Amino acid sequence: MQKTLLLLVVLLAVASADKWKLIWSDEFKDKSLDMNKWKYDLGKTGWGNNELEDYTNSPRNAYIKDGHLIIQANKEGNHITSARINTAGKFSVKYGRIEMRAKLPSGQGIWPAFWMLGDNIGKVGWPACGEIDIMEFVGKDPAHSHASLHAPGFDTHDMVGSSTGKGFSNDFHTYGVIWDHDNFKFYVDGKIFKTINKNSAHARSWPFNEHNFFILLNLAVGGNWPGNPDGSTRFPQQFIIDYVRVYKRA
């Protein structure tokens, strides 16, 4: 009897672990960006990566169309503008499933990202706050999506190839992470391609269990990793986001 009861408890626990409850989302169904959920990062400062773009709050760079958020990089003469938005001070989370469905731009020097930063960054700075890169994409390599973690004395990076062979700029795909106390599981279209375990990481610091993280979406142009645009790069470039959703285990 006791063994049967124990087995039932275990089975119920496993079943519950596989169920998720939506706790926050933006489906981008309004006429404009919901400023109760997002705010803009502004300026042309290189953003620590020698990027070229000037982030603005102009509707030319971030707007809603047909139920999608479009973050658009424009070239205006020798001036490049784009947008970077985040949920700092409006929404943050520790642990869960964080997911985006999007169609990515492509081209030399094009660098869209879906990522998270520790909400104590204003106090401790980077990388002490921690960084979770759920999706980074360098447009010169349209066949791969990248995921990584950053913390003091710890950097890990991996990438996944397009399952269709057509790259990630030809259609919408889902990009996400399942994050719990000990593990990060990064996935594309529901398939996990990278697991990072706290105990095997041997990190000097692990801020991912210490505080909440907020969400960022941006479309960078140029920088240390992708390099600058060249004659083959076409503008405007569009990062088209269908939704962003955050789930907790039920």
DSSP H or E segment with residue 71:
strand 68-76
Tell me if residue 136 is catalytic.
yes
Residues 6+ apart with CB under 8 A from 165: 143
Phi, psi of 114 (to 5 degrees): -130, 110
CA distances from 148 to 132, 173, 214 (A): 6, 18, 16
Identity of residue 137: F
Tell me if residue 131 is catalytic.
yes
Closest CA to 67 of 246, 241, 239, 244: 241
Identity of residue 53: E
Active-site residue identified among 27, 53, 136, 210:
136
- Kindly state the DSSP code that residue 43 receives in the 8-state scheme: B
Count Cα neighbours of 123 within 13 Å in the Cβ-side half-sphere: 5
CA–CA gap between residue 129 and residue 113 (Å, rounded): 18
DSSP H or E segment with residue 193:
strand 191-197
Locate 107 and state its tokens: 């081209």
List, as own/partner pairs, every contact residues 3-7 make where C-beta atoms lie below 8 angstroms and the sequence separation is at least 24, other chains included.
none
What residues are annotated to the active site?
131, 136
